[in-house]
Chain A
Amino acid sequence: MVRKALGILLTLFAVSIIIFSLVRLIPGDPAAAALGDQASREQIEQFRREMGLDKPIPQQYLIFISSLLRGKLGLSGITFHDAMKDILYYFPATLELTLVAMTLAFVLGVLIGVSAGLTENKKLDGLLSFLSIGGLSLPTFLVAITLQVIVGNLFPSFLITGRIGSNFNIPRVTGLDLIDSLLAANSAAFFSVLECLILPASALMLGPLATIMRLVRANTLREKGKSYIANLRANGLPRSLLAWRYLLPNAVSPALTLAGLQFAELLGGSFVIETIFVFPGVGWLGVQAMIAKDVNMIQGVALMAALYFVLTNTVVDFLHTRIDPRIRLKEQ
């Protein structure tokens, strides 16, 4: 556990140096970009000083690290607050969206993948395979806009933007509106959040769903062909028990690794979804920061993404030990 924690810290430290250097290679003046075309030269210079950009690069890095240890990232050129405040505010939206999307993708991907692998119906198997290719090849933004336009026109009162209906103002505890609405014991708010999540999560989960489904199907087919399965079938074991106890654990394990990697990749895809569905998350914030060359925000979002990735895979590693006893025994 201590070794894992040290590994995480080392990874983040390395990322901070890389991001810090890369960001300063982006052309453009962040102060001018932040203040807009009406700003005078004096205003731009003042803002540059406020952001600490007038100092030498090594000093800027030391200021950045010392601020980070105090929980700050420096002034953002977009929001004019400390960048950490904004990232902590917007991150839960992205986390909620990606968690829901990934959970749906994993559960449905596994169920459909196992079903496709087990079925004797070639047509059904073919159809599911075709749908999975469609899910992989369709661009996320196209799916998102199509869903939004169709649902918005068919059901005019269905909420197609935002995180929650306009009428609700639940106290913010975790920033995850699903949980906060439950904590506030407001069931109407809970369902409103669900309503707002359906479309963006559906659009976001399509790619991972297709990938997981195909992997699980392939693993199921491979396991199904093994001799021990034939033996168990010959001994009269029901198909459902066969699938649940023997095929599923073997198929899920590699899918879990894939899901862990894709969960982190969803962060990149979330920008498009967040923009289309007006879901104010950190994906959208990261792109705005890139456009405005908001150095402090870019660094913060990149570090957050790195932390997100590292923690996700740590959780996946843990889950692996629960699912696959061979890994658990090996570690012991």
Chain B
Amino acid sequence: MTTKDDKKVSRRKFFKMGVGVVVVAAAGTAAYYLTRPGTPSTSAVTSTSAIPVTSSQLAQLVQFTSLSTEEYESLDPHFSGGTGADFSLAINMYDRLFRPNIVNGQEQPVPDLVADYNVTPDGLTWTMHLQQGVKFHDGTELTADDVAFSFDRYLNFGKGFSYLYQGYIDPGSTKALDKYTVQFNFKLPYSPFPASLCRFYVLNKALVSQHMNEGQYAHDWLDSNEAGSGPYTLTTVKPREEVVLTKYDGYWKGWQPGNRVTEYHWKPIIEIATMKTLLLSGQGDMDDGWMGTDAYKSLNGQPNIVIERNPWIQERVLSLNNQKMPLDDIHVRKAVSWAMDYATYNSMLEYNARQAQGPIPIGLWGHDDTLFQYKQDYTQAKAELAQSKYSASELAKPIVVPSFNDNIKAVFLLAQQSLAPIGLNLQLEDTTYTKMIASITSGDPQQAPAMLWWGNTVKYPSPDAYLSPFNSSSWGTWQGQAWYKNKTYDDLLTQSRAETDQNKLLQDYSNLQKMLVDDAVMVWLSNPYGNICSHTWINGFKWLSCLGEFLYLPNFTVNPH
């Protein structure tokens, strides 16, 4: 007769079984790791886009992996207001009416989907004729209707760079005159319009319209799908982990011969040590240019690694609160400008960057290279202070500046050291980024910091982007952190937006820049260089400073390695 105890597994047997399971699992793991395929199988890759991945595409797989130091905000191209990660994905999935390019050594907007365009002398009506035969990824043709729909959606959604058009153009005023002609009807003239369109992406109206109830204006749907006509289609989205794009053979511009990227893997790698490991091991092909100079230095000279250094259209400034004592006095601002140690800043903190020359970075069209540049000169600084309306005791009061990370702390310590000899006392105060933003957006310049260190990388190639923060209407926004108020400046800026003659427009920009430099509104510190880490097997990519633009994949070729 069997008893209950007979049915139980003995301890010895249990341990033996356990050991057996462990051995089998280990053997299976080892077998998997040793024999796993180096290239993906056709059954493993699935497509979520409208155009399925063909077996011929997979047979000629050319994979490219880019590593980003930041997460993307959204795959909805009308959402992001300033993340290179978003732009680098959007420019490959979608097309734009204009895109940035280098013309005569300067970065400018050039027509892309637009074949030709004109603007009325009053600057209110822009008529654009589109390229014909452009196909969305579902095979339908891109027409003026799609452009009008997309622009209205952009304005109604109210995110991204749509704020540029507030007060200038209303939703519903963009018309499709015929299949390939779209007309933008402005209430007020806006000359930066072509440049701003570098950040406006055309969506497939028919496809997006089906999903308008999924989030605001189909945002939820567009966050994990795409409705574009660009060179790549969206294949896989693993939020915050990876995005995979696949080459679209029907791209309207066609494909140049060579090993063009057929599968693009985009990965956010926040930790720099991880990114370096991936680049060294070859699991990552290129970074996004934001690793930090120390990381590039350590990678330089490693096998198969290429570090490219390029001039960057980026402005680094010490922003001065023009309404807060003592910086509300122009002589104090000029004294600060004369006292700053530009040489040390650009050599040590920016690793041999160029000193900035006014508010528009070198390399962007509209930059005036005749502008005055300050050099450290304590004699001049003291002479300016002597003309200040403030007494010595008033000037000796601490100027409190916010410090919320190590980079900013280093800059302010240098500034503190630079200003001490002329009797100005900079006091660093630990704070948080959100607290600092709140002090600026409060709208009260007396609550805002006296000084800020700020970097502004070009997002769309327009001088207006660097000049508009000094318009008094920017008060209370992060951009308006100089709290500059000058009616002549405001009027001239408005005039420049109405200017349709390019030569006169350049003159307006030059005058605006001179005004800001003459008023010493900010301390124009630096136009740094950017570094990109890639590998010897990557060729063809073209450096452009606008955020994310250099990752335009049709330019790349990837040699076997």
Contacts and interface: CB of A to CB of B under 8 A. Distances in A.
Interface string A15-29: 000000000001111
B45 A191 contact: no
Interface in A6-59: 26-30, 32-33, 35-44, 46
B129 interface: no
Given A32-B437, A148-B277, A169-B44, A284 B29 contact: no
A90 B239 CA distance: 9
Interface in A248-278: 275-278
A280 B432 contact: no
Interface in B63-80: 71, 74, 79
Contacts of A26: 434
A41 B432 contact: no
B74 A278 contact: no
Given A33-B437, A43-B159, A160-B277, A80 B239 contact: no
Contacts of A30: 434
A28 B437 contact: yes
Residue among B219, B238, B270 having the largest count of chain A Cβ atoms under 10 Å: B238
Interface in A273-307: 275-280, 284, 288, 291-293
Interface of B: 11-12, 28-29, 32-33, 36, 38, 40-41, 44-46, 71, 74, 79, 81-83, 158-159, 161, 163, 166, 215-216, 219-220, 223, 236, 238-242, 244, 265, 267-271, 273-274, 277-278, 280-283, 432-435, 437-438, 441, 443, 459, 476-479
Contacts of A42: 163, 166
A160 B274 contact: yes
A27 B273 contact: no
B438 A28 contact: yes
A81 interface: yes
A27 B44 contact: no
Given A32-B478, A42-B163, 12 more contacts: A28-B434, A30-B434, A32-B438, A33-B437, A39-B478, A44-B441, A145-B273, A145-B274, A148-B273, A152-B278, A240-B12, A280-B238
A44 B459 CA distance: 20
Interface in A123-178: 145, 148-149, 152-153, 156-157, 160-163, 166-169
Contact of A278 (B82, B159, B274, B435): B274
A240 B11 contact: yes
B224 to A, nearest CB: 10
Nearest to B46: A169
A106 B476 CA distance: 54
Residue among B44, B215, B438 having the largest count of chain A Cβ atoms under 10 Å: B44
B35 to A, nearest CB: 10
A42 B158 CA distance: 9
B478 A27 contact: no
Given A37-B479, A161-B269, A28 B435 contact: yes
A241 interface: yes
Nearest to B237: A169
B359 to A, nearest CB: 16
A218 B33 CA distance: 39
A66 interface: no
Contacts of B44: 167-169, 188-189
A33 B434 CA distance: 6
Interface string A63-80: 000000000000000011
B479 to A, nearest CB: 7
Interface residues of A, number: 60
Nearest to A46: B158
Nearest to A150: B277
Contacts of A166: 40, 242, 244, 265
A89 interface: yes
A304 B491 CA distance: 53
A39 to B, nearest CB: 6
Nearest to A245: B11
B240 A194 contact: no
Nearest to A44: B441
30 contacts: A27-B438, A28-B432, A29-B438, A32-B437, A36-B478, A37-B479, A41-B441, A41-B477, A43-B158, A80-B79, A80-B223, A81-B215, A148-B277, A152-B280, A152-B281, A156-B283, A157-B283, A160-B278, A161-B283, A163-B238, A163-B241, A167-B44, A168-B44, A169-B236, A189-B44, A191-B28, A191-B33, A195-B33, A276-B274, A280-B238
Nearest to B265: A166
Contacts of B434: 26-30, 33, 291-293
Contacts of A40: 163, 166, 477
B281 A156 contact: yes
Interface in A177-234: 187-189, 191-192, 194-195
Contacts of B79: 80
Contacts of A278: 240-241, 267-270, 274
